[in-house]
Amino acid sequence: MNYLKGIIFLTTLLILSRIIPHPPNFTPILAGIIFLPFIKRDIKFSVFVPLGAMLISDFIIGMHSLMLWTYGPIIILSLLSYYFTNAKASRIASLAIASPAVFYLISNFGVWINSPMYSKDFSGLALCYINAIPFYASSATACILFCSVFFLIYRLLKNNRLSFN
């Protein structure tokens, strides 16, 4: 598969998935981060494609004050995924399960720190994490589903069982 076509397709999909109406946090962003190094093993692509997709879609849907707490885990997960490129399926599955958890922990810590809605103590942090569980569930489901789809299509293309030409 031509990696440039794959990167353009994936970037477009990531942008559109955030723009079109969807259940909260049900996007292929995290799955794209995990999958991207398989299209092109280049750390720049692994980091800047998801970051670019997030930035472009945020320009369209609106910027927010918690971008550091959203983009930070995206960068961390992009770097982590890059180093798992040659991993076995079980490690990729583990990454698909762990990535939403990492994103959830970091981004909601940012919500707690920056929001007057929560008290700045352990009970406030716990409440913030509890309130975010539905978003985590949606993100985890999307990540596992989209990872499965991306890697299935990749495998079929690699084995010449599927062609988009």
**What would the pLDDT profile of 109-126 be if each residue is shown by its tens digit?**
999 999 999 999 999 999
Decide if pLDDT at 3 tops 90. Answer: no
What does the pLDDT average to over 17-43?
93
pLDDT tens-digit readout, 99-113: 999 999 999 999 999
Look at residues 158, 142, 148, 137 and name the one whose alpha carbon lies nearest to residue 1: 158
Confidence of residue 158 (pLDDT cuts 50, 70, 90): confident
What does the pLDDT average to over 89-101?
91
pTM of the model: 0.90
Between 71 and 165, the higher pLDDT residue: 71
pLDDT for position 90: 81
